[in-house]
A and B are shown apart, each in its own frame.
Chain A
């Protein structure tokens, strides 16, 4: 038994026994009812936002301005990556082969499944748990899978370069800002949902601006993290050449 396993066993035994001691000697009170503010959100969500999901309503309507700013903070990852790597644009990659037929076939099936499920998660984000962030992150996992299995060149030769991805991200962010800004021209506040956008389109419940926000957030997150994956896959030999000729 190494020292590491002994410490782990000691921690496990301590954490199994000490709640017994605490519960016997001190009165513990576990809450049995929801807090006031949460109760207001659950009771009033359909009347105020036409969305039966309370969490999406809180994120995009009741506290919508926080979320719009947080989407801007995601820019930090991309701009910071460009600044730290000292790149003005990504270099041209050599043609590399990638992994064997076995991994390629398995990855093709997995990519198909992940793409369809991320589209499903985004599209019903205003009715059941889901939304823009989980869908965008799932699609970003797809691109992080493609890079080792199929090689970076297979993404770039299909026209998905990092400049275009950042352009898509900028467009999605502009559209998000426009959806937040349009009600101001009619005299309402900045992130208004029900007084400006329709709750239903035909027989589909659209919940006003929430489904628009989810769609644009999906594009923003997916393209942003695919660009991050492309920056991370620049080969090291390119950097060694640049640093050796500039002297470090």
Chain B
């Protein structure tokens, strides 16, 4: 009973985190706040990918061999977490880091050129130009 409650609670909280961070990306005015919300969104997606490899067994161990004898293989097949989602998330974290560093460079240069990091003030000249 507690197991099902925990699983549904974790899924629900991850969905709420994703919704709050999408609200933060769309409605907040500062570019740095948008970057913070973007990192929260990508972290939430990574955790939900690893949740796919979560199984409900009593000693949940990482998929690492600790001894070279024969029964270790069956023990790991029954009690270990899935290595494949972990490998994909490792790649994803590194690529997310590179893209977020590039966005940080872009924010600094936008501040140097226009004096503000407010998204609505940055877009105001373009909006006026279109409406004329």
Contacts and interface: CB of A to CB of B under 8 A. Distances in A.
> So, do A and B actually touch in the complex, CB under 8 Å?
yes
A145 interface: no
Most chain B CB within 10 A, of A55, A67, A81, is at A55
Contacts of A73: 94-95, 98
Interface in B53-111: 53-57, 62-66, 68, 73, 76-78, 80-84, 86-87, 90-91, 93-95, 97-99, 101-102, 104-106, 108-109
B55 to A, nearest CB: 5
Contacts of B3: 30
B65 A37 contact: no
Contacts of B82: 34-35, 38
A41 interface: yes
A27 B66 CA distance: 37
A129 interface: yes
B83 A15 contact: no
Interface string A197-241: 000000000000000000000000100010010011000100100
B24 to A, nearest CB: 13
B63 A77 contact: no
A74 B94 contact: yes
B4 A30 contact: yes
Task: Give chain B's interface residue range (CB within 8 Å of chain A).
Answer: 35 or more
A77 B87 contact: no
Contacts of B91: 59, 66-67, 70
B61 to A, nearest CB: 11
A59 B83 CA distance: 9
B16 interface: yes
Main secondary structure of the interface of B (DSSP, over half): helix
A38 B77 CA distance: 9
A159 interface: no
A248 interface: yes
Most chain A CB within 10 A, of B57, B83, B105, is at B83
B84 A38 contact: yes
Given A77-B101, A129-B62, A243-B112, 6 more contacts: A23-B5, A34-B77, A38-B82, A45-B65, A63-B87, A76-B102
Question: Considering the complex of A and B, which 4 residue pairs feature the smallest CB-CB distances, nearest first?
Answer: A52-B65, A38-B82, A54-B83, A19-B8
Interface of B: 1, 3-5, 7-9, 12-13, 16, 53-57, 62-66, 68, 73, 76-78, 80-84, 86-87, 90-91, 93-95, 97-99, 101-102, 104-106, 108-109, 112-113
9 contacts: A15-B9, A31-B56, A35-B84, A38-B84, A54-B64, A55-B90, A57-B83, A74-B98, A228-B101
Interface of A: 11, 15-16, 18-20, 22-23, 28, 30-35, 37-39, 41-43, 45-46, 52-55, 57-59, 63, 66-67, 70-71, 73-74, 76-77, 80-81, 84-85, 128-129, 133, 137, 221, 225, 228, 231-232, 236, 239, 243, 248
